[in-house]
Amino acid sequence: MTTLAQRLALLQNRIETSCASNARALGDVQLIGVSKFQAAQYVIEASKLGITDFGENYLQEALLKIDTIGDKTLTWHFIGSIQSNKTRVIAESFNWVHTVDRLKIAQRLSKQCPSNKELNVLLQVNIDNDPNKGGVSSEACADLVSQISKLPQLKLRGLMAILSQDTDPRVGYETVAQLHRELKETLSPELRPNWDTLSMGMTQDLEQAIAAGATMIRVGTALFGPRE
């Protein structure tokens, strides 16, 4: 049986190798452990091995887990699709939201975010125009970036992408990185330093994502093993 510590060691080796061969600093790539369908106890075990950031897709499951674990030092990332009637609890319970793809959702998150915190958000981009997944088209990104960047409680940090099965990750992630560079110009100069995040890369393609410039990789299977 493979243990969590063994999987983590293999994963860290993959990340280190990719960073080294692409002249990227190890500290510039944040690992997010995607813990959907994994038990709270397993997440606690991962946190004891040094994982600080966790990603969850399903709200009810996530809320229960965050509460059970009760560790305020952990950083929680919402990476699932967002229903507009759930924005309040998302804004209250998470530190980051990766899956913002329309203005209405961003406005609600900003309005409902507790006044003592700033919510980090990423715009999810549907780079391959796959109708089966969320995300804004590349063409619509610039308008949305300029609108969202004006919302008071949100800190717009960059882009998130999930690639379709039939998109070559080498090409797909380069396209996202290129868009990320171009969009910086749509922000007012004082907001540009916040535009520092590219969330892309999962178990099967994290190498290509790191090569293209990912600053956050979202890894489930390679860390926790297969999901139930």
Ligand X SMILES: *Cc1c(COP(=O)(O)O)cnc(C)c1O
> Where does this chain bind ligand X (CB under 6 A)?
34, 36, 57, 79, 162, 202-204, 218-222
Based on its alpha-carbon atoms, the radius of gyration of the chain, rounded to whole angstroms, reads: 17
Q: How far is the CB of 120 from ligand X (least distance, A)?
A: 16
Q: Is the Cβ of residue 211 or residue 219 nearer to ligand X in the bound state?
A: 219
118 within 8 A of 153, measured Cβ to Cβ:
yes
Q: How far is the CB of 79 from ligand X (least distance, A)?
A: 4
Q: How far is the CB of 41 from ligand X (least distance, A)?
A: 19
Q: How far is the CB of 200 from ligand X (least distance, A)?
A: 9
The residues pairing with 156 across neighbouring beta strands, listed in sequence order, are: 121
Structure tokens at 179: 């868009």
What's the one-letter identity of residue 133? K
Contacts of 1 (CB under 8 A, 6+ apart): none
Q: Is the Cβ of residue 36 or residue 88 nearer to ligand X in the bound state?
A: 36
Distances 204 to 133, 163, 171, 219 between C-alpha atoms, Å: 18, 11, 15, 9
Q: How far is the CB of 73 from ligand X (least distance, A)?
A: 22
**Long-range CB contacts for residues 194-198, cutoff 8 Å, separation at least 24:** 194/155, 194/156, 194/157, 195/156, 195/157, 195/158, 196/157, 196/158, 197/120, 197/122, 197/157, 197/158, 197/159, 198/158, 198/159, 198/160
Q: How far is the CB of 201 from ligand X (least distance, A)?
A: 8
208 within 8 A of 174, measured Cβ to Cβ:
no
Q: Is the Cβ of residue 149 or residue 208 nearer to ligand X in the bound state?
A: 208
Q: Is the Cβ of residue 77 or residue 108 nearer to ligand X in the bound state?
A: 77
**Residue number with the smallest Cβ distance to ligand X:** 220
What's the one-letter identity of residue 201? G
Q: Is the Cβ of residue 19 or residue 142 nearer to ligand X in the bound state?
A: 19
Q: Is the Cβ of residue 55 or residue 213 nearer to ligand X in the bound state?
A: 55
